[in-house]
Amino acid sequence: MPYANPRVTLVDHPLVQHKMGILRQSATPTSQFRTLVRELAHIEAIFATADLETESYEIETPICRTHAKRIAGPKLAIVPILRAGMGMVDGVLDLVPSARVGVLGMQRNEETHEPEPYYEKVPVDVASRDCLVVDPMLATGGSAIAAVKLLRERGVDNIKVMVLVAAPVGLDALLAADDQVHIYTCAIDEGLNDVAYIVPGLGDAGDRIFGTVA
């Protein structure tokens, strides 16, 4: 049964389905995997930015003066979760080169077993921007929840999370943790295995992007 929630958008464009099939294959080499992640992030970002605020302004064409539209305000901040999220950044920047980029590093607290930021660098005006949190995988949802919570604490109102593959349990957890966040994903998989990897998934996205597969 399809995952039904108005705050989850499944980007199932035919090109996305085609590229996801190649991305999932274990034989796909690092260089191609990295390129596909960038391309998928680019396509997904088109959907995730569809509601950006615009303003009208006057331009001169070769024929006459007319009105056009442009993005209003400070535009976007892209916030990748280290390290795999870095693989999606350029795909969004290809579409919105004026976007600012923040970085969040997450690690597990050995006492609480919850993810905590170990590194944070976001634009100084992040509270006035729409934020796209990017990370290829949404498994348990812990890192995404922590990232969204941190950005809320920094005053960000409009937060979207872009992933390539999501597990239903991760979607449930993130939607429950924040009642405003919108999630974009290229696939919603069956679930998690006993070590919290998404099934069928695509393996460790960070290792596959950066070529550190054992």
Listed by start position, the domains of the chain span 8-205
Write out the two tokens for 31: 């260089």
Q: Tokens 């998690």: give the residue.
A: 192
What CA–CA distance (Å, rounded) separates 3 from 74?
A: 33
- How large a percentage of the chain has pLDDT more than 70? 96
Catalytic residue among 83, 140, 154, 204: 204
112 flagged as catalytic: yes
pLDDT at position 112: 66
Beta-carbon count within 10 A of 114 CB: 12
Confidence class for position 204, pLDDT limits 50, 70, 90: very high
- Among residues 110, 115, 136, 103, the alpha carbon closest in space to that of 205 is found at 136
Q: What is the pLDDT of residues 90-140, one digit of tens each?
A: 999 999 999 999 999 987 766 665 778 889 999 999 999 999 999 999 999
Residue of 61, 66, 112, 179 marked catalytic: 112
Q: How confident is the model at residue 214 (pLDDT cuts 50, 70, 90)?
A: low
Q: Residue 114: CB partners within 8 Å, gap ≥ 6?
A: 108, 142, 146
**Residue 16 predicted with pLDDT over 70:** yes
pLDDT at 72: 87
Give residue-wise pLDDT tens across range 134-188.
999 999 999 999 999 999 999 999 999 999 999 999 999 999 999 999 999 999 9
Q: Which two tokens stand for residue 34?
A: 């990295």
DSSP characters over 13-82: -HHHHHHHHHHH-TT--HHHHHHHHHHHHHHHHHHHTTT--EEEEEEE-SS-EEEEEEE-TT-EEEEEBT
Domain 8-205 belongs to what topology? Answer: Rossmann fold (3.40.50)
Distance, CA of 101 to chain centre: 12
Instruction: Spot the catalytic one: 108, 125, 157, 172.
Output: 108
Number of CB atoms found within 10 A of residue 109's CB: 9
Q: Indicate the pLDDT class of residue 68, thresholds 50, 70 and 90.
A: very high
Is 204 assigned a catalytic role? Answer: yes
